[in-house]
Structure formats: C-alpha cells, structure tokens
Structure 1
C-alpha cells in the first residue's frame, strides 16, 4: 500500500463526528419533546407524560431514519457507478459534503431555535449527496480493491475496527462535551460545532491528500498473498478466484449470491430495527439516561467492533467464513434477547457484552460477495447490498416503531424479541451457503 494514502483518517474523523452528532441530535430532540414539563393535557401524570414523550421521540427518529435511508437510493447507486468507472474518491467525497451540510443545519437549529422538524430537511440534504450508503460502500470498495482475496475478511473487519474505536472514543467524549459546554438555550452547540469541523477535515483530506488506484482494474494476486501494484497500472480482472483458501473456476453460483443477500438483509433488518428503538428505550423509565450515560451506552456498542475484529482474526485461522457469520448472528440474537428484559443500567451492559461478535457477519458477507465479482464491479456489488439494506430498513422501521409504541406500556422490550427471531431466521440462508460452498467452492461472477 505504499502507493496509496490510508483511508483510516477519514473513517476515524467521520465516525467521531457522527458520534458527536448522534448524541447532540438525541438530546436536542429529547428536550424539544419534553412534554412531561409542559402544560399539555397529555401530561396528567408522570407516566402518561413519559409515554407521550416516547411516542413523539420515536416518531421523530422513525421519520428521520426513513428519509435518511430512502433519499440516498438513486444518488448512491449513481455515485457507485462513477466510482467504478472514474475515481473511487467520488462515492466517498460527495457524501461527506452531505454530512457536513446536514450537521451544519442542526447547528443552526440550536443557535437560531428553529423547530426540530427542520432536521427532516437536513436528512433530505444528507440523502441527496448519497448518505452513508454511498460513503461506506465507497470505503469498502476501496479497501477491497487494495486487498488480497485470501486476507480480505481481515482487511474489511480492520476497517470496521477503526470505525468502532473512533465511535467508542467519540461516544465517551460526547456526553462530557455536551455537559461541559451546556447552555440552556443552545444545548449541544459545541458538540455539533466540533462535528461540523471534523467533517470539513474529512472532506479536505479526501480531496487533497487521499490517493486511490485507477478504477477498472484489480491488483493481480501472486503467491504468498503478494500483489502486483503500480497504483492501478498493473493487474488483471481475469485472476483466479480464491475462496476459503482454494482456487476455483467455472460457472458462477447465483443461488449462493442470492442466499448471501437474503441472510444479510434479514440480519440487517434485525440489527437496524433494534438499534432504531434503543435510543428511545434508554431515555425512558426505568433507565432514564442523560447525556453522559447515552455516550457511555453508545461507546459500549462500539466496543463490539473491537471484539468482532479479534473474533475474525482468530476464527479465520480455523473456521470457514460462513461459520464465522453464524457465530456473529448467534451473538447478536442472544444479546438482544437479554436486552428485552433490561430494567437496570448494569443489565444493559450485560446484554451488550453478549453482542461481542455481532459485527462479524456484515464485513464477512461483503468479503464473500467480493470474491464473486471482478475488481471493476466492487462498487456496484457493495452499493446493491447497501441499497437492499436501505429498502428493507425503510420498510420495516415504521413497523418496529409502531410495535414499540403499542407495547410500550405492557412490555417495552417486545421489539427486541422480534429482532432476536429475525437474527435466527438470517442464519438459515447462511447455513445453506455453507453447505453449497463446502461442496462446490466459490466462482466469480462476470463484471456485468
């Protein structure tokens, strides 16, 4: 990688900025919908007021999430095609502009006391520039293009590790910064201001410092994992495929590709559905978290990136990719099942500890899919996967939210049980892929 600058500085700074923004947005929304202290007729009792606030906050987060997920659909696919054909910076840099502008809008909401619903417009701006779908697919495509297939799972999970460590640091710091620079009428202004500054840094680094290989070619793989690499001037798209340590060739296995997509989508719906509800869950009674506790809770989630990286590093030496994916899905399902019964803060951290391998499935599935296509199609295959996640999340987010609101009084953790069931269902197509590839190995799809 001597001919290319690392993408890690962008991943680190962007994720710290995102952690600051997430805490700031949630606290601003919580304050604006703090109906328990209003004179509304809905707040005849503390419990009634808390439930009304929960409904308002969860509705806001649902709409915001749906806009953020749906709007990037076409822009992200267009940016991915440009990245494959012209320059892999495009699907990274353009979304960073959207990130910066949308975070700037939250800063204005705080400073000028605009209605919090202005953030729906910020979500549209964020989406029109490609959003996370384009940004993360671009990062994964760049990392895949520069990695040996035999070690690609490690390379992709290492990017996830950097992402997770940055999120951990950002989440821990966010609550302290929020409280340290708290101003009653402008709460979160320092937190969001730093977030905007970090996105400016990311964009500047990506445009002026980051160097990427020419697109349309993948580095040729030599024995012992070495590559022929002249910053995009060498290599071929016709190299043999490496899968689970063995070379294969022949007609591609479309069924396995479809099954990988199915397993990934089910698992993503399971995770995103639970994570959509979690912010509302922790700010309600009996947990009733403040800014610092929210930061610590988010940080606990990012520790999973570290443990998942260690899991892949160790398991990849003795287990097949599909087995690692199943271990990750079982880990998440177990932890989120325990989360359904959390009533004390320490129980929350026990549930999170059980999720220690929950991040293994997604980068490993991406690694398996990248082994099916030529290097010139990495951007397209990753954006198709990311767009599948988007469609599924947009469709299921309101379902999870409405189920949460309907079960809020008698069992607020019901959605987490539903999430656990979906994670178990996601294991089924992965088991089938493991059986099929154990017999036939992997083969490469044509680039079109």
Structure 2
C-alpha cells in the first residue's frame, strides 16, 4: 500500500512545473560554465594593438559575449510575443515547451563545437536558434503564468519567490559540480565534453517531462478578475485582514486601474535589470583576469555563491512580508544589490569577492515581487501577455546595457576595471526612486479609502 501511494505522489510532483524549472536550471548552469571556459580557451591567443595579452583576451571574450547576448535578447522578441498570445488563448504549455526545444538545440551546437573544434562563431547560430524558440523571456513568462494561475493573489509573491528558490538551488548544485565536470575529458574529445553531454541530456529530459507530464492547473481566485488591481493587492500580501472579499465595496473596474503606478513599476524593473544585468555581464569575464584568474572549478564556486542568493532572498521574503509592504521589500532588495556591487569595485582577492556577494543576499527579492504585483493587476486571461511584456521590457534593457557595459569595461580595463560596478550601484539607487514614489502613492490612496470607509 505504501509503494503505490509513493508512486502516485511522485507522479503528482512530476506533473508540476517545479521539476521542469530545476532540470532546466541544472542543465543551464552546466552550459554556462562550459561556454565561459570554451570562450576563454578560444580567445587565449587574441592580439590587439596597444593591449597586453591578457587585456586582448578580455577584449576578445567580452566582444564575443556582447554579440552572443545581443542575439539571444533580440531574436526572441517576436516569438515570445506570439507564445504569450498562444498562452492566453489556452495553449499554456507552449511558452514552456517551445523554448526548451531551443535550449536543447543550442546545447547541441556547443557540444559539436567542442568535439569537432569548430569556430566559436558557430555559437552565434546557436543563439539564433535559441532566440527563435522564444528564449528565456518566453520560458520564464510561461512558468510565472502557470504559477499565477494556480495561486491566490494573497500568497502569490511568496509562491513566486519559492519558485525562484528552487531555480536557485538547482543552479547551486549545477554550479558546484560544473567546474569538476569540465575537468573530466577523454583524450580524443577534450575538456568540457562530458559536462556538455550531461547538460544536453538534462535538457532533453526536461523537454520530455514538459511534453508528456506537465499539468496546467488553475485555482479559483479569491477575487473576481475585475478586482485585480495593484493597490489593494499590495496591502493584502502584508495582512490577511486587508484582503477584499467577493462582496467587498472596494471592488474596482479595470478602467480605474492606476496606470501611473504601473509605469513606475515597469520603470523600476527596467533600471534594476539594467544595473544587475550589466554587472553580471562583465563579472564573468572580470573573475578570469588577474588578480583573480579563476579556474573552471572556481568559476563554478563563484556561480554557486550567486545561486545562494536565491535561498537568502526567499528567506527574506518570508520574513519581511510579515512586517513590511511589498514596495519596502523591493527597496530592501535593491539596497542589498547596490551595496554588494559597490564593494565589488575593490575586489582584489577571492575572499573579498565572496564578501561582496554576501552583501547581495536579498538582491533577488525585487523582480519576483514586481512580477507578483503585475500579475495581480490583470485578469487571468491577460496574465501571460502582461508578464511577457515585462520580460520584453527587460530584453530591451539588455539591448542597451550589453554593448554599453562591454565598451565601458574595455575602456576602463587599464585604470579601473571595476568602474562598471560603480555604474551599476548608481543606477540601482536611481531605480529605487520610482518604487518609492509608487509606495507613497499606494499608502496615500489606502489612507483615503480608509477615511471614506469610516
């Protein structure tokens, strides 16, 4: 009797979105380490007039990743919009299954590049395949849409942060083993082959699970669709007593939604993603140069330190949501990132690097909290396209910060390589301004509603 019950429980778990998230991130972290180290090896002999050998290698690497990342952010724009529309028309699994096909194909291309010693430029073709499948913007929007549909507005930010936690834990495991797997090789295939084979198999398994087992589940929401509005939902997450009932007099029609707060949220998301994405874009190359000069194993450990932030941010959400509003939680997360990335300017040793990452312990709170607020703003029939629009906003941020940060880093290599981290810290502080304004507007409206109710 115990065995059948255990099998039924395991099958039920496999039908949820969480196993797919973890398998995808596990394979993704292995791929990221492999791509970083393969690019380093292929750029080792690069030479540029007026630059030392190490600076030439850094320039060649950053140029490659600039072009590669621009492609994977530009190519998915139209496909992700199409997949978001299909999701809202009932094809909820499409934004998950189709991008996973692109993930699998791009991993196969890098495996072929390593095995057959193909030029690194083949990865630009892999980036196009990845982008035309919708990429991460379509995949993550599809994931968050399924999470939104199966949860009530009151607990949505916590559940979304729990998904981020599982994503981070999978990344932590993958990062810890990726460097060691990269060192394993056969005499005929070379470094990274086993690592990429494991990554490809994980993505294949992830695709099979999403096609065969994934279940789309929608729960009955606490509020009717037309009651999804930003202001009351932000307070309901902090106190169960403020959650409106089905016959509550504060029910509000969609036409009365405060669009100013929506614009402020999108602006804050853009600025924060600009700051975080730009810093992380350069950080991968920064740790490979002196004085750090990390090996593949150290790169994996460094990525693992970043994944630990998923855990600390989840704990932060659980603790902070009991005593502060969601707007305040966003500010705490932004302040955490700004302080940590500022310390990164002065990193000369690995120990100081980990101190800087320690200060980032709440840096992942802002984005899932903003997604939660936006998902509560719209009815379920528009949730997919709304979250896709947010992802596309972040894509446009990437189209700006990738070349900007790359060129700034290349021009400051000789006198202050960490200047880009100072820039990220400043932009993060600027991103706190629209969140603060939105929070003040929300608090003011809530006071007016209480006065009118009395």
TM-score, structure 1 length as denominator? 0.90
Report the equivalent of 2:222.
Answer: 221
Following TM superposition, by how much is the alpha carbon of 1:441 offset from its aligned partner in structure 2, in angstroms? Answer: 4.8
Following TM superposition, by how much is the alpha carbon of 1:238 offset from its aligned partner in structure 2, in angstroms? Answer: 4.0
Report the equivalent of 2:435.
Answer: 430
Report the equivalent of 2:336.
Answer: 331
Report the equivalent of 2:19.
Answer: 9
Aligned to 1:409, the other structure's residue is in SS state coil
Aligned to 1:88, the other structure's residue is in SS state coil
Determine if the alignment matches structure 1 residue 263 to structure 2 residue 268.
Answer: yes
Cα offsets for 1:272-302 (capped at 9, x unmatched): 0000000110000000001000000000000
Report the equivalent of 2:298.
Answer: 293
CA distance in 1, matches of 2:434, 2:48: 50
Report the equivalent of 1:237.
Answer: 225
Aligned to 1:266, the other structure's residue is in SS state helix
Residues 403-418 of structure 1 correspond to what in structure 2 (within 5 A)?
403-418=408-423
Residues 20-169 of structure 1 correspond to what in structure 2 (within 5 A)?
20-35=30-45, 48-169=52-173
Point out the more displaced range, 122-131 or 370-379. Answer: 370-379
Cα offsets for 1:43-74 (capped at 9, x unmatched): 9xxx8100000000010011111001110000
Residues 267-416 of structure 1 correspond to what in structure 2 (within 5 A)?
267-416=272-421
Contact 2:275 2:424 in 1 (8 A): yes
The answer to which structure has the higher helix fraction is: 2
- Structure 1 runs of 4+ with >6 Å offset: 1-4
CA gap 1:259/1:240 in 2 versus in 1, 3 angstroms: closer
Following TM superposition, by how much is the alpha carbon of 1:148 offset from its aligned partner in structure 2, in angstroms? Answer: 1.1
CA distance in 2, matches of 1:151, 1:258: 24
The answer for unaligned runs of 5 or more in structure 1 is: 223-235, 443-448
Contact 2:225 2:378 in 1 (8 A): no
Report the equivalent of 2:451.
Answer: none
Contact 1:87 1:212 in 2 (8 A): no
Aligned to 2:290, the other structure's residue is in SS state coil
CA distance in 2, matches of 1:371, 1:87: 21
Paired positions, count: 420
Aligned to 1:285, the other structure's residue is in SS state coil
CA gap 1:90/1:65 in 2 versus in 1, 3 angstroms: same
CA gap 1:114/1:374 in 2 versus in 1, 3 angstroms: same
Cα offsets for 1:80-114 (capped at 9, x unmatched): 11011122100000000000000000000011111
Following TM superposition, by how much is the alpha carbon of 1:183 offset from its aligned partner in structure 2, in angstroms? Answer: 4.9
Point out the more displaced range, 303-312 or 387-396. Answer: 387-396
Tell me which of 243, 248, 251 is aligned to 1:249. 251
CA gap 1:104/1:255 in 2 versus in 1, 3 angstroms: same
CA distance in 2, matches of 1:133, 1:23: 21
Report the equivalent of 2:6.
Answer: none
Cα offsets for 1:201-253 (capped at 9, x unmatched): 11110110011037xxx62328xxxxxxxxxxxxx534565512233433110
TM-score, structure 2 length as denominator? 0.89
CA distance in 2, matches of 1:264, 1:209: 33
Contact 2:338 2:425 in 1 (8 A): yes
RMSD: 1.9
Aligned to 1:339, the other structure's residue is in SS state helix
